[in-house]
Amino acid sequence: MIKINGLTVKYGKKTVLDNVSITFNKNRFTAVLGKNGSGKSTLFSCISRQLKYSGEIFLNGKNIDKIEPKEYAKNLSFLPQSLNKPAITVKELVQFGRNPYTGLDGRLSAEDDKKVEEALKITGLTDFSKRLLPTLSGGECQKAYLAMIIAQQTPTLLLDEPTTYMDIGAQEEFILLINKLKQNGKSPIVIMHDLALAVKYADDIVIIEKGTCIFSGTKKECLEKNIIEKAFSVRRINAENEIFFTV
Ligand code: ADP
């Protein structure tokens, strides 16, 4: 669980996050929505300890400033928007996910190997394990990084627009995969642009607008109060069992 109290971030004189307070609940899939430039990535940069901020962020009741790096990495993983493609294999990338668990020599145990193989299997990348990252498509690369953070085995996963380079089918498949992580007690928190996919799979919705959190609650409440329609100036279309949005 993540609890954020009064989070404020400024770049020079510009306030990018203004006194944001949000609780991300355990074992829920939370979609973080908001227009471009609203502050979503900045929020994730703070939670992943890459940016200085004022306010407090608690991870499972502990202030993140006071958590040792290894303990932190066992509890929270983060997939940023832009992913590097160094000349290593998919398997080597996924093995990095085991770093918080290895000793000083960095050697992988049989348990580590097992978790790496499992992560490759869950993401359907077993046959890709020997491929070098620069030979992968953008979507395949995003999957390989997902495998890495699955191998990291953290209860909370932060993903910043993880389906940018995927076609529609691959996007939904990927979101389904993320949703399935809940079965193992995980809590995925995902910045998403596709509003229909978000309301189809998320349990909770957070909406950031111009540096403030204008909504944080269940999807049900979000839909009942027409929050998405107002925030994005869109109309909702209910078709059979699916919801779509249009301008
Ligand atoms: P989002 O993820 O919602 O698109 P961001 O968190 O990336 O939004 O950005 C929020 C605002 O902060 C934007 O106006 C952006 O231009 C500004 N911003 C982000 N990074 C920097 C930076 N390093 N220096 C100055 N302004 C920044």
Do 21 and 37 touch, CB atoms closer than 8 A? Answer: no
Could you give the strand order of the β-sheet that contains 54-59, starting from the edge strand earlier in sequence? 14-24, 2-11, 54-59, 62-63
Atom number of ligand 1 nearest to Cα 81: 2
Give residue 105's pLDDT. Answer: 85
Pocket test residue of 14, 33, 42 for ligand 1, highest count of atoms within 8 A of CB? 42
Please give the backbone phi and psi of residue 78, each rounded to the nearest 5 degrees, phi first: -140, 130
Give residue 46's pLDDT. Answer: 98
Ligand 1 pocket, residue 16 CB under 6 Å: yes
Give residue 202's pLDDT. Answer: 97
pLDDT tens digits in sequence order for the chain, 247 residues long? 999 999 999 999 999 999 999 999 999 999 999 999 999 999 999 999 999 999 999 999 999 999 999 999 999 999 999 999 999 999 999 999 999 999 888 899 999 999 999 999 999 999 999 999 999 999 999 999 999 999 999 999 999 999 988 889 999 999 999 999 999 999 999 999 999 999 999 999 999 999 999 999 999 999 999 999 999 999 999 888 889 999 9
Do 245 and 232 touch, CB atoms closer than 8 A? Answer: yes
Atom number of ligand 1 nearest to Cα 160: 2
For 14-32, letters b (16+ CB in 10 Å) and e give: eebbeebebebeeebbbbb
Distances (CA, A) of 217 to 115, 132, 223: 33, 41, 10
Ligand 1 pocket, residue 37 CB under 6 Å: yes
Pocket test residue of 9, 16, 78 for ligand 1, highest count of atoms within 8 A of CB? 16
- Using the structure block, give the residue that is written with the tokens 């992580």: 181
Which residue's alpha carbon is nearest to atom 14 within ligand 1?
37
Which residue's alpha carbon is nearest to atom 26 within ligand 1?
11
Atom number of ligand 1 nearest to Cα 17: 10
Give residue 240's pLDDT. Answer: 81
Ligand 1 pocket, residue 11 CB under 6 Å: yes
